[in-house]
Amino acid sequence: MTAAKTTRPRAATPRRATVKSAKAPGVREQAAQTTRDNILRAATRVFARYGYDGGSVEKISKSAKSFDRMIYYYFGSKEGLFIEVLEDMYRRMNDAELKLSLDIEKPVESLKDVIRFVVSYYAKNPEFITLLNTENLHRGKHISKSLRAREYSSPAIAIISQLLESGVKKGVFRNDVSARNVYLLIAATGYFYISNRHTLTAFLGEDLQAPQAMADWQDFIIMTVQRTVMLKPS
């Protein structure tokens, strides 16, 4: 009797321990991911406001309601965190871009949709522009260390390439325009306007952030790109 009673508790204990150990890693992983995401979001805000040099680890950990050591634990260094902030900004734009519903069989309209997306995304995400300005002040020395940097422009260029090929087949687009150059034309004109909207507003004496001004510039970009890619009537 005594031996039997002793055996049952010993058998039950491992089973209970196994269940707990199976659940615990999932909870810990979720908490770790939440902490990491909070730090990444806080770093985005801090770097966008103070730049790379002014965005200290202390400011970031305070904004994330975390601790300095957690930044080093998850990202290795302030630079490592900044690189991931840049990667995350590009990734989010790519994710939004891939959700576009484009009809390859309608290349003219679909190319307009791509332009509208890029211009509106820049306008709705000014921190993206600010962070890119910061990195360009540093001559791209941080993003050049990213192992993912080359991945982020390829989806946009690939989409534009498909639209150009479709337009060539339909006889509406030229066959001597590269997708890379069209991408740069769209990005440059959209980026410059948003990046310099404050100084240009003062210089030109008009509010470039006004909805109508934004719409007019978007239409101008569309017209410019169309004149670049459209096959001129003979």
Using the 8-state DSSP alphabet, how is residue 208 labeled?
T
Domain 1-76 and domain 83-234, same fold? Reply is: no
CATH architecture of 83-234: Orthogonal Bundle (1.10)
Q: Left if phi > 0, otherwise alpha if psi is -120 to 50, otherwise beta: which for 51? A: left
Task: Confirm if 191 and 115 have CB atoms less than 8 A apart.
Answer: no
- The amino acid sitting at 104 is I
Task: Confirm if 228 and 185 have CB atoms less than 8 A apart.
Answer: yes
Whether residue 182 is predicted with pLDDT greater than 80 in this model: the reply is: yes
Q: What is the pTM of this model?
A: 0.79
CATH architecture of 1-76: Orthogonal Bundle (1.10)
What CA–CA distances, in Å, run from 202 to 123, 136, 162, 197?
Answer: 18, 23, 40, 9
Residue boundaries of the structural domains of the chain: 1-76, 83-234
Alpha helices in 55-153 (DSSP H): 57-63, 68-75, 78-98, 107-124, 126-137
* Residue where the block lists tokens 């239409």: 219
Model pLDDT for residues 10-32, shown as the tens digit of each residue = 444 444 444 444 444 588 888 88
Q: What is the mean pLDDT of residues 221-228?
A: 97
Model pLDDT for residues 136-150, shown as the tens digit of each residue = 999 999 999 988 877
Q: Which long-range contacts (CB under 8 A, 24 or more apart) does 195-203 make?
A: 195/129, 195/132, 195/133
Using the 8-state DSSP alphabet, how is residue 231 labeled?
P
Lowest mean pLDDT among 2-16, 54-68, 164-178: 2-16
HSE of 50 in the Cβ direction (CA atoms, 13 Å)?
17
